[in-house]
Structure 1
Amino acid sequence: MPLYFNENNAVKIYGLAYACMSIAGIFAILLGKLVDKFNWITTLTLTTLIYAFAMLGRIITHEYLAVLIAFIAGLVASTGVLSLKNWMAYSTQSTLTNRLVLYRSLIFHSTNLFSMVFVLALAYIITDKRHLYWSLLVLSAVIVFFAWLFFLKIRNHYHIDKHDNKKLSKITFNPIIVLFCLNMIFSGCYSGLIKPYLILLFIKKGFSDEYSIFINLLIVFSQVIFTTIVIKKLNFFSKSPIKLLIILETSLLLSYLFIYFEYLEISIYVLLFIFILRTFLLSTSTCTEEIIHMQYISKQQFAAVFGLLLTLFLIGDSFGAFISSLVFDHNYLNIFLISAVFVFLNLCTYIFLSFAIKKHHQI
């Protein structure tokens, strides 16, 4: 999508559409009630169909239509995510929840890797890139449509008693939950700043579309490897998760500052190493955060708190994407400096969280 919009001289519109999609996710905490009312398989089936049409609408680069379609996509995507989380919470043994979360992440990165290989192969074969990116956007919508057919077929296998549906409970705030909330906002901010423009950053560096896709392919491949390692070493990463998060966030802060000050002079090999290192830091911290959430959010409040955390993350994500849409065309390197600021704020929340956890154990 960023490459398609870049070819159509609509990078700013892409940034606004991405931000608007995240803004729609702000309603996640309210959408959770919709999932509870109609059950997860019904909402998942409906939102997948709507999302397929919303993805097809990504070929539209008109400013207002692109933003409207992105908003609809954000609403249905958030509802779909909450539907899957609802299913995991009520259909999975608690002892398997952490590992299932990691396996889901591994599947996501693996399929993303396959897609990148497919796109890269076509980019080398086909010379008309604008036609290629348009076709791939349509193809992605078709794939989601087939997913809808699959859910439509299996939905009759799930007989959910409406009386067993659990409603979102009221959230009891404590220092740990408040710090989780701040953490998700800051994490969303630096995610929205860089993630939408990752491929374009390499194009700005002077590389071709194909080479930029290949670099992104290596980064995605590293995500698969790192997620696999985390799954195999789950006990190691869960021994002292908060200390690990502080180390990871400090490393991420230093890497962003290094990129900002040295980007123009960095060789492609050093740059690739730093971005792969960044991938390791983000992948590991995400898994570690989820482990901490499982430990310190009560089962009775999990659905409600997760809906709130998802909402806050997407608020930060949309804010970060909005900032980068304004900054990218003027001086794209500023997104690394701004990201470093949000990483520093997030690091502060981890430090305060470590004290809150110690106090929690003393009570």
Structure 2
Amino acid sequence: MNSLHKDIRPLYYLSRVMGLAPFSFIRDAESGEESIDTNFCSNIGGVIWSGIVFCVMIAGFIYTKVRYQLDTIMHPGEAVNNAFSFPMNFIIALVALINIFLNRTKIPKFFDKLNFVDVKLCKYRTKNCYIYMDVIVVLVVFVLTSYDTLVSEKGLVVIHDIVYRVAYLIGLITVVQFCKLVQLIQRRIEILKKALCCILKDTSYNIKNIRNPESDVEMYSSTKPSIEVEELNILDLRIAYNNIYEASKVVTDVYGFPILLLMIRTSIALVTNVHGLIWSPDSKFHHSREDFASLPVWIVTFLGMLLAMTLSCQMATLESREIADIVQKLLLNSLTNENLQQLTLFSRQLSINKIEFTAFWFFTVDLSLLCTILASATTYIVILVQFQ
């Protein structure tokens, strides 16, 4: 089984249940290799199921707009949630379902490019430890955020709340899918960095011995032979980096718009829920006391989603910047004109084809974005508290 496919298998099954995987894995009978099949006819069952989930989300969105009317006295944060956040949750689910269906043919391209890197740099790979924390986190968060549904009133409202949690789960899985693919890219960047570090170590060792020709010949001969720079072929490393870069573009193409909507929805919900927690002791809003009891869980969940998206992208970006630093060191230690030329081109390639992840090309997803969101949220909360 392909190691990449093995790494995402549990998340794939969870996504399949939620209609977010209208494709399947197929194995070649002769070679035993596994690939992704995105053919419409062979995945008709998954496509139909995605359509059913899509229709349920539309029904939930319509009922949400009918149910939440702003004609009663309610907490300001609750009013914003009813008018914006709850419908937005269904919109995100609908966009995620449409987006993954329209871009399903890009998923195999992503894995093909990372597989190329694995084959090209197989000697530097380390064995993966398949601890499926992503699926565990999704299930735990889903259970914790379902508290207010368990204490809500009976009847049709409970059905709506269940559908709402399904919509929220689709958004949560979209975040986990995004973070998982970014993590796979980060691992390949680490492999490439390891290969470059071997070249740097070998080059520095050779230069040291060239500058010290009177060193002990016996000690030099007894040392473990180093890998020649030419054998590692810097051109192959450039090709590997290009595949990693193109894989990162696929992630932005497939998940850019859903991530943009998730960022907007999560940021606004974070402000309204923190403000709601401050207002919760007010006796005027006793009708939603059970909802207030779950606010800390929702706040932690929203913060966790923002942190997961921004931190995973930040780590991958930092790894790629370290590659640029190593290439610059190699330029200083280059022994041959051929290597100097390839390293110069590699340095230019790194400066032009920077690995970064954006929310539909509106802004870069990294820790600076998280700081901006938290600073803005704090400002809005302080302003709202002044009007309390």
State the TM-score, normalized to the length of structure 1.
0.27
Q: Look at both structures and tell me which one has the larger radius of gyration over its CA atoms.
A: 2
Q: Which has the higher contact order (CA 8 A, sep 6+)?
A: 1
Alignment TM-score, normalising by the size of structure 2: 0.26
More helix by share: 1
